[in-house]
Structure 1
Amino acid sequence: MYMRNVIYKILTGCYIVAALLLMSACNDNVDIQQSYPFTVETMPVPKKLKIGETIEIRCQLKRDGRYLPTTYEIRYFQPDGTGSLKMSDGTVLLPNDLYPLPGETFRLHYTSASTDQQTIDVYFQDSFGTLQQLTFSFNNDNNKEEEQQ
């Protein structure tokens, strides 16, 4: 009989400790990180362009972490010169309009339409408002030797 009382008291104590642990584990202030820093890396691009010449800008999105519902968008602005920027699928980007990124690896195609110096600022943002900017500058390539050959 004495042994049964001791076992009963030990089990009751274990249940109480387990209940206290479970109650303290139920914290509504669970902090789940959703927004992670990111960068966009590119391969080198030419610095001189002829009017009408198109160059390819190869881009890679690098994320410090992953939160599945995060989306990424691109927009651009051209403060100097004129030209057009396209996605590899042929979508022509309009200045200051947001477009979804097609993936973590993508290509942009810039076509020069100016003999002046050209600059494009490309902005990437995630669904949490984190923003990254890349700036590309091009000078006019007025080298006549290549055109004659």
Structure 2
Amino acid sequence: MIALFNKFRLGLSSIYITLAILATSVSLVSCSKDDELEIQNNFPFEVNVMPVPKEVANGQTVEIRITIQRSGNYSGTQYFLRYFQFDGEGTLRCFDDPAYLPNDLYPLPAAQFRLYYTAASAVSQSFDVWISDSFGNERKVSFQFNSSD
């Protein structure tokens, strides 16, 4: 009788072990990569620019108001600016910062900001401003000012 009880107890132990292995397997399979919760932190954006004058004189400064419109908000997103001037000569700066150098990357302090372009020649002025974020999204805004001299 004791031998039969020991066999029964041994049989129950193996059933418990099998159930524990089965439960662990099911929980591991249910946590597969396909079922993971995705957290989106890459939000594309648009750039809105207030109207600017069509003409600029040599030495004149034009204010350019820009707003970055985000499709979502991720607090870790950083925005950057670079510009390329291909007609005329001038300087571009943000607030009271020193003048930007063409093709250099500058961090933007906020989603709403003002750029100041100062013409340094009496011919038409053309330049592009590229705004990018820390996830590789980019937007180009082109500016062209006719000479008023």
Q: TM-score range by the shorter chain?
A: 0.7 to 0.9
Helix, strand or coil for the counterpart of 1:32?
Answer: coil
% identity of equivalent residues: 45
1:44 counterpart (46, 51, 55):
51
Give the match for residue 147 of structure 1. Answer: none
Residue 27 (1) aligns with residue 39 (2): no
Following superposition, the deviation at residue 84 of structure 1 comes to: 0.2
Following superposition, the deviation at residue 25 of structure 1 comes to: 4.9
Give the match for residue 98 of structure 1. Answer: 105
Counterparts of 1:22 and 1:110, CA distance in 2: 61
Tell which structure's C-alpha radius of gyration is larger: 2
Give the match for residue 65 of structure 2. Answer: 58
* Structure 1 runs, 4 residues or longer, greater than 6 Å off: 18-21
Counterparts of 1:110 and 1:21, CA distance in 2: 63
Helix, strand or coil for the counterpart of 2:33?
Answer: coil
CA pair 61-111 structure 1, distance change in 2 beyond 3 A: same
How many residues are matched? 129
Following superposition, the deviation at residue 40 of structure 1 comes to: 1.2
Following superposition, the deviation at residue 42 of structure 1 comes to: 1.0
Counterparts of 2:39 and 2:26, CA distance in 1: 22
Q: TM-score, normalised by structure 2?
A: 0.77
CA pair 21-103 structure 1, distance change in 2 beyond 3 A: farther
Task: Give the partner amino acid of 2:70.
Answer: R
Relative to structure 2, which stretch is displaced further, 93-102 or 25-34?
25-34
Give the match for residue 78 of structure 2. Answer: 71
Deviations, residues 86-124 of structure 1 (Å, cap 9, x unaligned): 101323111000000110110000000111111010000
Alignment of 1:121-136 (within 5 A): 121-136=128-143
Counterparts of 1:46 and 1:120, CA distance in 2: 14
User: Where do 5+ consecutive residues of structure 2 fail to align?
Assistant: 1-19
Counterparts of 1:45 and 1:60, CA distance in 2: 14
Counterparts of 1:70 and 1:20, CA distance in 2: 39
Give the superposed CA RMSD: 2.3
